[in-house]
């Protein structure tokens, strides 16, 4: 198994923290090709916001570009700049809203801007004119998310203005689904029809539309009519389905495993409570091990009394309140030793703990589990043997 993480040292080194996230690049490759096959001939824009959903922005970007991704999507200007400073030359669309004074930074780093109103488009046009460059722009249409973007029923003014731009190259036009991962697609189909209504602007004028894209992970799975010219896989690329209600029409596998090690072993007597608040105690003598991970790493405190881990191929419960940096696991009278591997999320033999389980224990969604794995948790990149 080859390892190439940002620390450039092996996971056995005393310099690597025993709690780390392991990202399997071969899994990522398999997921990428599965999505590509299902959505062809559409292009691919992997969405890498929030540290590539916790998987590591720069390393994942390099990998998907090597696989042939035509575009990359991020949320904020800073993410795009980091990719450029790391040598990523592929086109990068910044999906989030922008402030006028940020526009020159976009242009200096050759980042594609989201024009979400005629005013924003005018700001981009003016900045590009002053700098003597051509800005690359995608027009954002709000078809029902009510986040950013011009409303679909007011979109014609933005599209008309885009035709008059001298310093903006309008490469794309897009919208975003609010409910494409739901079992019911009634709301999503309303949004899709609204987007098609906006796109009729070009057909009515005999114009070729810019690159059209709308399909997020849920729509990739469930709404082939929304794939258009490009799709935007996010959490699906990383092997996690966007919701319990979405169809599994594309087979993907989790790319990330979260691991740690036993750092302490003790026998706890009956009636001796464990951790802050003394919320848990045993009525008989048990063996308890301490794991060096906590809510400061993104292992949610809300999972106290609910979470389980895998040690030596068996599941064991987390007991007492999860601390900022440590937590305790009751192994009853089973055996475990210091330095034993602990699976927080991932697979060990026939046992596995999925991201969706952590989300259920924490009362949240898989997206939040992945994106909350703190940056103090090292990312280690591996390939299958």
Spatial distance between the Cα atoms of 234 and 102, rounded to a whole number of angstroms:
25
Catalytic residues: 49, 276
Spatial distance between the Cα atoms of 189 and 175, rounded to a whole number of angstroms:
13
Q: What per-residue confidence (pLDDT) applies to 6?
A: 39
Mean pLDDT (whole number) for 92-96: 97
Q: What per-residue confidence (pLDDT) applies to 269?
A: 97
Q: What does residue 278 show for φ and ψ, rounded to 5 degrees?
A: 50, 50
**Residues pairing with 213 in the sheet:** 174, 230
Largest CA distance in the chain: 80
Render pLDDT for 275-323 as a digit per residue (tens, 0 to 9).
Answer: 999 999 999 999 999 999 999 999 999 999 999 999 999 999 999 999 9
Render pLDDT for 356-373 as a digit per residue (tens, 0 to 9).
Answer: 999 999 999 999 999 999
Render pLDDT for 43-56 as a digit per residue (tens, 0 to 9).
Answer: 999 999 999 999 99
Spatial distance between the Cα atoms of 192 and 194, rounded to a whole number of angstroms:
5
Render pLDDT for 169-211 as a digit per residue (tens, 0 to 9).
Answer: 999 999 999 999 999 999 999 999 999 999 999 999 999 999 9
Spatial distance between the Cα atoms of 51 and 55, rounded to a whole number of angstroms:
6
For residue 13, pLDDT over 80 is answered with no
To which CATH superfamily is domain 256-382 assigned? Lyase, Ornithine Decarboxylase; Chain A, domain 1 (2.40.37.10)
For residue 12, pLDDT over 90 is answered with no
Structure-token pair, residue 176: 């975003």
Residue whose C-alpha is closest to residue 142's, from 189, 118, 112, 176:
176
Same fold, 41-238 and 256-382: no
Spatial distance between the Cα atoms of 218 and 191, rounded to a whole number of angstroms:
14
- The answer to whether residues 193 and 141 touch, using CB atoms and an 8 Å cutoff, is no
pLDDT-derived band of residue 100, with 50, 70 and 90 as boundaries?
Answer: confident
Structure-token pair, residue 376: 């103090």
Q: What per-residue confidence (pLDDT) applies to 289?
A: 98
Q: What per-residue confidence (pLDDT) applies to 4?
A: 36
For residue 14, pLDDT over 60 is answered with no
Q: What is the mean pLDDT of the chain?
A: 95
Structure-token pair, residue 342: 């602990």
User: What's the predicted TM-score (pTM) here?
Assistant: 0.94
Render pLDDT for 213-251 as a digit per residue (tens, 0 to 9).
Answer: 999 999 999 999 999 999 999 999 999 999 998 999 999
CATH of 41-238, picked from 3.40.50.720, 2.40.160.10, 3.20.20.10, 3.90.1560.10, is 3.20.20.10
pLDDT-derived band of residue 1, with 50, 70 and 90 as boundaries?
Answer: very low
- The answer to whether residues 82 and 59 touch, using CB atoms and an 8 Å cutoff, is no
Q: What per-residue confidence (pLDDT) applies to 17?
A: 87
Render pLDDT for 318-349 as a digit per residue (tens, 0 to 9).
Answer: 999 999 999 999 999 999 999 999 999 999 98
Spatial distance between the Cα atoms of 103 and 105, rounded to a whole number of angstroms:
5
Q: What does residue 109 show for φ and ψ, rounded to 5 degrees?
A: -105, 15
Domain positions in the chain are 41-238, 256-382
Q: What per-residue confidence (pLDDT) applies to 335?
A: 95
Spatial distance between the Cα atoms of 334 and 132, rounded to a whole number of angstroms:
70
pLDDT-derived band of residue 384, with 50, 70 and 90 as boundaries?
Answer: confident
């Amino acid at each position: 198994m080859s390892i190439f993480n940002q620390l450039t040292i092996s996971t056995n080194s005393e310099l690597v923290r025993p709690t780390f996230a392991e990202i399997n690049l071969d899994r990522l490759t398999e997921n990428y090709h599965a999505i590509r096959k299902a959505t062809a001939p559409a292009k691919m824009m992997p969405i890498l916001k929030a540290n590539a959903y916790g998987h590591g922005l720069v390393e994942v970007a390099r990998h998907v570009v090597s696989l042939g991704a035509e575009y990359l999507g991020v949320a904020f200007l800073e993410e795009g700049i980091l990719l450029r400073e790391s040598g990523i030359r592929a086109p990068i669309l910044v999906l989030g809203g922008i402030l006028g004074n940020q526009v020159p930074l976009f242009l200096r780093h050759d980042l594609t801007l989201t024009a979400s109103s005629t005013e924003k488009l005018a700001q981009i046009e003016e900045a590009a004119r002053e700098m003597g460059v051509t800005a690359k722009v995608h027009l954002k249409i709000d078809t029902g998310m009510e986040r950013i973007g011009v409303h679909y029923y007011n979109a014609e003014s933005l599209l008309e203005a885009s035709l008059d731009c001298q310093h903006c190259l309008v490469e794309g036009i897009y919208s975003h689904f609010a409910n494409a991962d739901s079992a019911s697609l009634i709301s999503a189909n309303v949004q899709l029809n609204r987007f098609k209504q906006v796109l009729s602007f070009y057909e009515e004028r005999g114009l070729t539309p810019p690159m059209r894209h709308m399909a997020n992970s849920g729509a990739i799975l469930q709404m082939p009519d929304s794939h258009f010219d490009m799709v935007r896989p996010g959490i699906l690329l990383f092997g996690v389905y966007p919701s319990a209600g979405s169809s599994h029409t594309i087979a993907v596998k989790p790319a990330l495993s979260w691991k740690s090690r036993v750092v302490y072993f003790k026998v706890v007597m009956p009636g001796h409570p464990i951790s802050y608040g003394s919320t848990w105690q045993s009525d008989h003598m048990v063996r308890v091990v301490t794991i060096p991970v906590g809510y400061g790493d993104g292992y949610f405190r809300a999972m106290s009394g609910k979470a389980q881990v895998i040690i030596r191929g068996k599941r064991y419960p987390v007991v007492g309140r999860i601390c900022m940096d440590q937590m305790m696991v009751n192994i009853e009278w089973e055996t475990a030793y210091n330095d034993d591997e602990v699976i927080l999320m991932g697979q060990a033999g026939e046992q596995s703990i999925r991201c969706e389980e952590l989300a259920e224990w924490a009362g949240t969604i898989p997206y939040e589990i992945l994106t909350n794995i703190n940056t103090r948790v090292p990312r280690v990149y591996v390939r299958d043997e």
